[in-house]
Structure 1
Amino acid sequence: MSRLWITGYRSYELNVFQEKDPKVEVIKRAVKQALRNQIEQGVDWLITGPQLGIEQWSARWGIDLKSDYPEIKVAIMAPFAEFGSQWNDDNKAKLSQLQTDADFADQVSDTKYRSPAQLRNYQEFMLMHTDAALFVYDSEYPGKSEFELKAAQQFAETHPYPVNIIDFDQLQEAANEYEEEQEEIKMQRNHEDS
């Protein structure tokens, strides 16, 4: 069994406020390709958190990949009880549906948020219960997942723990590919219409 921790930017850190934002499609392409590569190298559990953005999108895309890789399992681990309870109803419903669709969903701490120690315990839990990490993160654009990345890199100094990063250069490559494909589709439609 090989378990991959997936995390990265929150949606607001990417200025994404709607699922239909073209940035989501670009991120999806890059993350899904990275997940496919990890699965083909033996990863059978994709483990992420419940944060809006990379974590929830990755959980959804992991669930989508089950059609090609039925052996894959997806887990969503919250750092503490009642995570997201302050969110609006739409975001609460999305998280609830993801937790239902995942193979496993739980929380590291059974108490509501009380202190930053719960977040450190969450990082430690994720490091101890995964074999590698995948971050969507660019050090030139700091975000909240910087703390998880630093913890994973420190952990990797003393453990066999690969830390893979999808940075903005890789996302730009995915954007360029997406744009080229959209242009080809547009040209084909124009050709068919004429």
Structure 2
Amino acid sequence: MKVLTVTGYKPIELNIFKPNDHRIVFIKEAIKKRLISYIEEEGLEWVILSGQMGVELWTSQVVLDLKESYEINLGVIPPFQEQEGRWPEQYQNDYQEIVMLADFHQTIYDDTYKGPYQFKARDKWLIEKSDACLILLDEEHPSSTRFFLDEAQKAYNNNAYPIYTITPFDLEEVVMQMQDEISDWNQD
């Protein structure tokens, strides 16, 4: 696997309302662990995503951190120009920084938002250009991820496109591991 697309929930779908919410640390750690395993075990070279608020923006930050230790590239491909225009200021700033630091950046449509068809085109493009996808997903509550998941499942049915997930159970494991590490550190 050389190219992986990553997506997941927006902050509000996770009941995260502040960009410094402590739960983001656990989400980013879960993403980091997965990406490292794909880099080390499968030769992952590119992570591509649209850069939307939440999981995709946090993944971008993780990838940029991983660049210090690994040969990994980041592609940010938003569906249209000014996708961040209505976001809270902190997320706008984070997005603009990610775009500046990405190895590749290009919009699907060279225009501002015109309709939901742009999101569908984005999902299809990301799937066509990647070897697999990683989705932060609670299958009982897919929220907005269901649209990407539907497209990914079509690709899976047509040509066995791999769909990997980070589930609530995976996040709980990361929380417990990080708490154990802190506990061990405090005992030293």
Out of 20-29 and 33-42, give the one that drifted further: 20-29
> Offset at 1:175?
1.0
CA distance in 1, matches of 2:89, 2:23: 24
CA distance in 2, matches of 1:10, 1:183: 31
Does residue 104 of structure 2 align to residue 119 of structure 1?
no
> Offset at 1:155?
0.7
Amino acid in the other structure paired with 2:134: L
Q: How many residues align?
A: 187
CA distance in 2, matches of 1:103, 1:67: 14
Per the alignment, residue 26 of structure 1 pairs with 26
1:1-194 paired onto structure 2 within 5 Å: 2-40=2-40, 41-69=42-70, 71-188=71-188
TM-score by length of 2: 0.93
Amino acid in the other structure paired with 2:61: R
CA distance in 2, matches of 1:74, 1:186: 36
> Offset at 1:19?
3.6
Label 1:89 to 1:25 Cα distance change in 2 as closer, same or farther (>3 A): closer
For residues 119-148 of structure 1, give each alpha carbon's deviation from its aligned partner in whole angstroms, at most 9, with x where no partner exists: 111111111111110001111122211110
* Structure 1: gaps of 5 or more residues: 189-194
Do the aligned residues in 1 keep the contact of 2:9 with 2:145 (CA within 8 Å)? yes
* Structure 2: gaps of 5 or more residues: none
TM-score by length of 1: 0.91
CA distance in 2, matches of 1:163, 1:88: 31
* Structure 2 residue matching 1:78: 3-state secondary structure: coil
> Offset at 1:14?
1.1
Q: Which has the larger radius of gyration?
A: 1
Give aligned-pair identity as a percent: 30
> Offset at 1:184?
2.3
Amino acid in the other structure paired with 1:169: F
CA distance in 2, matches of 1:83, 1:74: 18
For residues 68-114 of structure 1, give each alpha carbon's deviation from its aligned partner in whole angstroms, at most 9, with x where no partner exists: 11x21101110112111122333222111110111111111112111
Amino acid in the other structure paired with 1:45: W
CA distance in 2, matches of 1:157, 1:115: 27
Which structure 1 residue ranges, 4+ long, deviate > 4 Å from structure 2? none
